[in-house]
Amino acid sequence: MKIKSMRYFLIYLILLSEFSLAQSAEKIHVNAILADTHNDFLSKAVDAHVVFDTDLRGITQSDLARMRTGGVDVQVWSIFCDEHYGRGSAFKYASRELDSLYAIAGRNPKTMQIVYSYKELIKAVQAHKLACLSGVEGGHMIEDNLDYLDSFYIRGVRYMTLSWNNSTSWSTSAMDEKQHTFKVTPYGLNDFGKQVVKKMNRLGMMVDVSHVGEKTFWDVMSVTTKPVIASHSSVYALCPVFRNLKDDQIKAIAKNGGVIQVNFYSGFLDSTFLPKYDSFLKAHHAEYDSIAPREKSGMMIGDYFSKKYKDEFEKMRPPFSLLLDHIDYIVKLVGVDYVGLGSDFDGIDSAPAGLDGVQDFPRITQGLLQRGYSEKDIKKILGGNFLRVFKANE
Ligand SMILES: [Zn+2]
């Protein structure tokens, strides 16, 4: 063969192998049960009045059609309000978000179903419906009242993040433990906090350790009798921010049979992102001050800036490969059985390049396959590991 035709032949072979890789990735993706354990759309539904079952391209990172395109089978919807909601208002606000989820699912009985058990979940997925669970992101929403846990459970809440960035009276958050801003001592879980964990174990509501402080984390691990979940956290060793998990925490979760659902936020994946983001905010501080009173949350402010300064945000995005690095890291540290996906879509204003929204989940399957993961292991990461933990909590 002449050199020139040899070169064409090689290009042909490369294209052929890429084509077959893409084909097998698609097949694996379709056959796997993809479970994302953190999506903040409901906050936007209530705050910004966006409607999930309409075309929201260019407006949000999620909508029903794109979730179908992305092959999402199970969505755990985040029920969230921040520290400005306290006694008398937090539970009410959380309930409004749940109402919103019920309304969306009620309008779309052929494509969505709120499920309450592992068995129901599998049935819904087999019927090609989006199986919906929810997770309360912040223990302040039970307003120190254990009866509210029952109410949440009855309505399909299957995990609770013990604290968000704000501590509760019974558990310190990662942010407060790091900044030493929590005034009540001791740190960690107090007796009521231990009761909360025990009650969650009894109910079959997963204990979520994303956002909690290290002291709280270790207290949880000594109290819980069920596997825990970190619904949206990444690896501290690769990106040392207070929201990520250190190696000994990752090992403890694996030992407990739990799962770490990797967060897609650029600031939790790429250690260079937050300094860049800070410089951006400094450069736009006047505008920040002018819109801050109007926007309802930090999330909405981020949303505003990321849309208005699209090019600047584009430049700050880390490469897609970094998300896979975080997954790889956990797999190498503790094995393939303890990692999954907790995107945080519609709660974040930046994700790695190529991950623009829920429609892009197939890229993760492709990336894992390219890195040499087997079909069996990819299925575990996409949802199998989370489903194991969900089932074990029932
Ligand atoms: Zn969060």
Q: What is the mean pLDDT of each run of 10 residues along the chain (394 residues)?
A: 76 80 91 98 94 96 98 98 91 97 98 98 98 98 97 98 94 88 75 97 98 96 98 98 97 98 98 94 90 77 89 95 98 98 96 98 97 97 98 97
What is the distance between the alpha carbons of residues 216 and 162, in angstroms, rounded to a whole number?
A: 9
The per-residue pLDDT for 300 is 81
* Residue linked to tokens 């993040």: 161
- Cα 232 to ligand 1 centre (Å): 7
- Cα 164 to ligand 1 centre (Å): 7
The per-residue pLDDT for 295 is 72
Cα–chain center distance at 206: 14
The per-residue pLDDT for 303 is 85
The per-residue pLDDT for 184 is 59
Let me know: does 332 contact 46? Beta carbons within 8 Å. no
- CB-CB neighbours of 315 under 10 Å: 10
The per-residue pLDDT for 296 is 67
Cα distances from 82 to residues 85, 153, 228, 364, in angstroms, run 6, 20, 23, 31
Task: From 226, 95, 76, select the one nearest 155 (Cα to Cα).
Answer: 95
Residue 351: strand, helix, or coil: coil
- Which residues touch 36 (CB under 8 Å, ≥6 apart)? 72, 74, 75, 76, 341, 342, 343, 345, 358, 361
The per-residue pLDDT for 242 is 95
- Cα 339 to ligand 1 centre (Å): 17
The per-residue pLDDT for 185 is 61
- CB burial class (10 A; 0-12, 13-18, 19+) of residue 352? buried
- Cα 211 to ligand 1 centre (Å): 7
pTM of the shown model: 0.93
Let me know: does 315 contact 279? Beta carbons within 8 Å. no
- Cα 7 to ligand 1 centre (Å): 50
